[in-house]
């Protein structure tokens, strides 16, 4: 007779799940045994459950379909939490299987006991317990509906003894839920929106990930309003390419053209974005925000109008009402500023033969040139995200994934593992910081064991670079950020990967060609300069004072060698 675990695995396979990422344990033995029995799902044995959740989240983001991960009872499913936070905040439909201690022992402070229904509450929409075999169908059905319908995480809690019990009743009928039809604002709000847009002289659009699927309408709107488009990081892959109105990003990793396009506007139109940094919003412009979630409206900056609606549906309704603007001085000035800022960025990415250490900008510019047109890139939080945002060119086929909202270290490699299962023929490249890579270093072994052809490029600067910059901006001498790394290429070879190291600019191109041409998992270790002062497009007095204090402290303490060569500062005005 079929066990609960057999029915669970068979139902997930029938619903389209092809991989279950996790680390096994006694409370998951029923599940892994059911998978071993050949039910159409592959168990992907990662080395840490956090990596399992990151991998599932990345797979879901690339395919836009449900993905799954699992953790054994207690510490095993607790390790899922960080990756699940990232998936949930990225709106990735993920089903997390959290195994539990034997059901008779729940509530008795048994070995490894936790309360998953409480633990996962803040990083999932649903937490359902399968207390008895007959609970499997309703719990699993609801979990799948919630994860797919609300685009987030749902957790199924399954005690190990229940997984091994005989199944009862009809198997689950798993039907992914269709999200509700996109709402269109009521006529009176469309009228107010129209009046504000028609009455403004200098409109700037801040476009976020909520503009996915509305690219055509967005470009028509920008043309009608003669408005520059500032895109957020999460919108880069969809809005940056072939966009004659794009003026880059603003924010901590943006540069000056995006910042000034917003500051010089008399009306800022925010579309599908919850951009969090208050200091980068204009103070004197009128502000209008369109978002599906009413909770997002006005929580970052005061609004003159907040509109609940899907971006595409809203723009289709408002475009016929708009008068075209003839005056284009604001757009022209913003585009000219963008061309200057872009030229400054590109100049910093030129490789200088013989100059060591290599500049990280040059690494990513070369990768952009050599990588396939449909490559999938993942980037670690911190400086790898900066270089990816500034130097990887999107084209409508490439993808860029990162921990852009949750901001976790060590995300790039496990996300690359997950993405590699989405479309195996596509090149997947992880832009890993040395801090991020070594935090989940065991996942190099996953690459070998699972035979995933992921390419890992390590920015080896021997420091937690972005944290160091934050300390300097606060007027502090860098502390507790140094990383004493081994030869990471040699370490990767010992793990079974093809690995090379490029220490000089003239070595970089042939080594990267080798990396990308290798058919299996491969790693390129690049010692790069950590003296790359990434400055935001605007510095307030506190930050300016902080950098001044750091400068004085460095000199007085005999650490003047830490002062950055200002000829290579990433500052764009």
Write the pLDDT tens digit of every residue in 340-359.
999 988 988 887 777 889 99
* Res 542 pLDDT > 80: no
Q: Kindly indicate the confidence band of residue 530, based on its pLDDT and cuts at 50, 70 and 90.
A: confident
Confirm whether 371 is domain-assigned.
yes
Last residue of a domain, one of 164, 197, 221: 164
Determine the structural domain holding residue 140 and report its residue range. 4-164
Which residues contact residue 425 at a Cβ distance below 8 angstroms, ignoring those fewer than 6 apart?
none
In the three-class reduction of DSSP (H, G, I as helix; E, B as strand; rest coil), residue 14 is classed as: helix
Whichever domain contains 448, its CATH number is: 3.40.50.970
Instruction: Determine the pLDDT at residue 535.
Output: 58
Q: Give, for 526, the enclosing helix (H) or strand (E).
A: strand 522-527
Q: Kindly indicate the confidence band of residue 543, based on its pLDDT and cuts at 50, 70 and 90.
A: low
Give the chain's domain count. Answer: 3
Is residue 165 within 8 Å of residue 3, measured between CB atoms?
A: yes
Q: What angle do CA 452, 80, 378 make, to 5 degrees?
A: 40
* Res 54 pLDDT > 50: yes
Are 416 and 396 in a shared domain? yes
Confirm whether 55 is domain-assigned.
yes
Instruction: Determine the pLDDT at residue 546.
Output: 52
**Of 417, 379, 377, which Cα lies nearest the Cα of 50?**
417
**157-166, 218-227, 337-346: lowest mean pLDDT where?**
337-346
Are 330 and 395 in a shared domain? no
Are 328 and 363 in a shared domain? no
Instruction: Determine the pLDDT at residue 353.
Output: 76
Which segments of 141-187 are extended strands (E)?
153-159
Are 330 and 363 in a shared domain? no
Are 520 and 559 in a shared domain? yes
Last residue of a domain, one of 287, 308, 339: 339
Q: Model confidence over 394-439: pLDDT tens digits?
A: 999 999 999 999 999 999 999 999 999 998 899 999 999 999 999 9
Instruction: Determine the pLDDT at residue 566.
Output: 40
Are 385 and 469 in a shared domain? yes
454 phi, psi to nearest 5 deg: -75, 140
Q: Model confidence over 139-150: pLDDT tens digits?
A: 999 999 999 999
Instruction: Determine the pLDDT at residue 37.
Output: 80
Instruction: Determine the pLDDT at residue 553.
Output: 46
Q: Model confidence over 73-89: pLDDT tens digits?
A: 999 999 999 999 999 99
Are 154 and 227 in a shared domain? no
> How many residues are listed for the chain in this entry?
573
In terms of Cβ atoms closer than 10 Å to its own Cβ (0-12, 13-18, 19+), residue 118 is: exposed
* Res 571 pLDDT > 50: no
Confirm whether 173 is domain-assigned.
no
Tokens of 124: 């999932």
* Res 537 pLDDT > 70: no
Confirm whether 485 is domain-assigned.
yes
Instruction: Determine the pLDDT at residue 548.
Output: 56
pLDDT, greater one: 558 or 337: 337
Are 193 and 157 in a shared domain? no
Are 308 and 404 in a shared domain? no
Instruction: Determine the pLDDT at residue 96.
Output: 98
Mean pLDDT on 7-22: 96
Are 118 and 10 in a shared domain? yes
Confirm whether 177 is domain-assigned.
no
Which residues contact residue 165 at a Cβ distance below 8 angstroms, ignoring those fewer than 6 apart?
3, 4, 133
Confirm whether 172 is domain-assigned.
no
* Res 533 pLDDT > 70: no
Which residues, listed in sequence order, are joined to residue 413 by a DSSP beta bridge?
A: none
Last residue of a domain, one of 130, 164, 198: 164
From its phi and psi, is residue 242 left (phi > 0), alpha (psi between -120 and 50) or beta? left
pLDDT, greater one: 383 or 555: 383
In the block, tokens 């910059």 appear at: 469
Q: Cα separation of 165 and 163, whole Å?
A: 6
Confirm whether 298 is domain-assigned.
yes
Confirm whether 215 is domain-assigned.
yes
pLDDT, greater one: 251 or 282: 282
SS3 for 268-305 is EEEECCCCCCHHHCCCCCEEEEEECCHHHCCCCCCCCE
Tell me what the pLDDT averaged over the chain comes to.
Answer: 91
Torsion over CA of 506, 509, 511 and 517, rounded to 10 degrees? -160
Mean pLDDT on 6-34: 96
Are 560 and 523 in a shared domain? yes
Which residues contact residue 426 at a Cβ distance below 8 angstroms, ignoring those fewer than 6 apart?
372, 374, 375, 376
* Res 131 pLDDT > 80: yes
Instruction: Determine the pLDDT at residue 323.
Output: 92
> Does the global pTM surpass 0.75?
yes
Instruction: Determine the pLDDT at residue 342.
Output: 93
Whichever domain contains 191, its CATH number is: 3.40.50.1220
Q: Model confidence over 173-195: pLDDT tens digits?
A: 988 887 777 778 999 999 999 99
50 phi, psi to nearest 5 deg: -60, -40
Catalytic residue ranges: 49, 111-112, 381, 466
Are 81 and 41 in a shared domain? yes
């Amino acid at each position: 007779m079929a066990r609960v675990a057999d029915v669970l695995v068979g139902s997930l396979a029938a619903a389209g799940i092809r991989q279950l990422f996790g680390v096994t344990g006694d409370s998951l033995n029923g599940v892994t045994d059911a998978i071993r029995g050949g039910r159409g799902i592959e168990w992907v044995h990662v080395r840490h459950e956090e990596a399992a959740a990151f991998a599932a989240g990345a797979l879901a983001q690339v395919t836009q379909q449900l993905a799954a991960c699992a953790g054994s009872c207690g510490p095993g499913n607790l390790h899922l939490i960080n990756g699940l936070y990232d998936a949930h905040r990225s709106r990735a439909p993920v089903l997390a299987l959290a195994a539990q201690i034997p059901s008779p022992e729940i509530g008795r402070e048994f070995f490894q006991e936790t309360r998953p229904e409480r633990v996962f509450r803040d990083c999932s929409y649903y937490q359902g317990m399968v207390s008895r075999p007959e609970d499997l169908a309703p719990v699993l059905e609801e979990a799948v509906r919630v994860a797919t319908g609300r685009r987030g995480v749902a957790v199924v809690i399954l005690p190990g003894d229940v997984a091994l019990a005989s199944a009862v009743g009809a198997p689950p009928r798993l039907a992914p839920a269709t999200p509700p039809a996109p709402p269109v604002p009521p006529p009176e709000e469309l009228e107010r929106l129209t009046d504000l847009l028609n009455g403004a002289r200098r409109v700037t659009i801040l476009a976020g990930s909520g503009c996915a699927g509305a690219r055509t309408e967005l470009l028509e709107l920008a043309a009608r309003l003669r408005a520059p488009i500032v895109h957020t990081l999460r919108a880069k892959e969809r809005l940056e390419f072939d966009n004659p109105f794009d003026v880059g990003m603003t924010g901590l990793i943006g540069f000056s053209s995006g910042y000034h396009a917003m500051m010089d506007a008399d009306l800022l139109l925010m579309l599908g974005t919850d951009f969090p940094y208050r200091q980068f919003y204009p103070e004197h412009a009128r502000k209008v925000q369109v978002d599906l979630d009413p909770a997002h409206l006005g929580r970052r900056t005061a609004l003159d109008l907040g509109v609940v609606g899907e971006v595409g549906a809203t723009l289709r309704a408002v475009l016929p009402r708009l008068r075209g603007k003839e005056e284009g001085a604001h757009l022209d000035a913003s585009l000219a500023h963008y061309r200057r800022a872009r030229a400054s960025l590109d100049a910093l990415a030129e490789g200088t033969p013989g100059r060591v250490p290599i500049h990280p900008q040059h690494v990513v510019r070369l990768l952009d040139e050599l990588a396939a047109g449909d490559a999938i890139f993942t980037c670690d939080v911190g400086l790898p995200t900066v270089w990816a945002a500034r130097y990887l060119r999107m084209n409508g086929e490439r993808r860029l994934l990162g921990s852009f909202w949750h901001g976790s270290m060590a995300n790039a490699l496990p996300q690359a593992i997950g993405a590699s299962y989405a479309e195996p023929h596509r090149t997947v490249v992880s832009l890993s910081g040395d801090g991020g890579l070594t935090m989940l270093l065991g996942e190099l072994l996953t690459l070998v064991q699972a035979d995933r052809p992921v390419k890992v490029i390590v920015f080896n600067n021997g420091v937690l670079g972005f944290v160091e910059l934050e300390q300097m901006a606060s007027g502090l001498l860098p502390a507790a950020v140094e990383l004493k790394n081994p030869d990471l290429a040699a370490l990767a070879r010992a793990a079974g990967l093809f690995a090379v190291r490029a220490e000089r600019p003239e070595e970089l191109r042939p080594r990267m060609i080798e990396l990308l041409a290798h058919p299996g998992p491969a790693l390129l270790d690049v010692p790069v300069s950590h003296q790359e002062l990434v400055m935001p497009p605007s510095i307030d007095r506190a930050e300016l004072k902080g950098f001044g204090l750091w400068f004085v402290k460095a000199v007085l303490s005999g650490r003047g060698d830490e002062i950055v060569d200002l000829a290579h500062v990433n500052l764009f005005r």
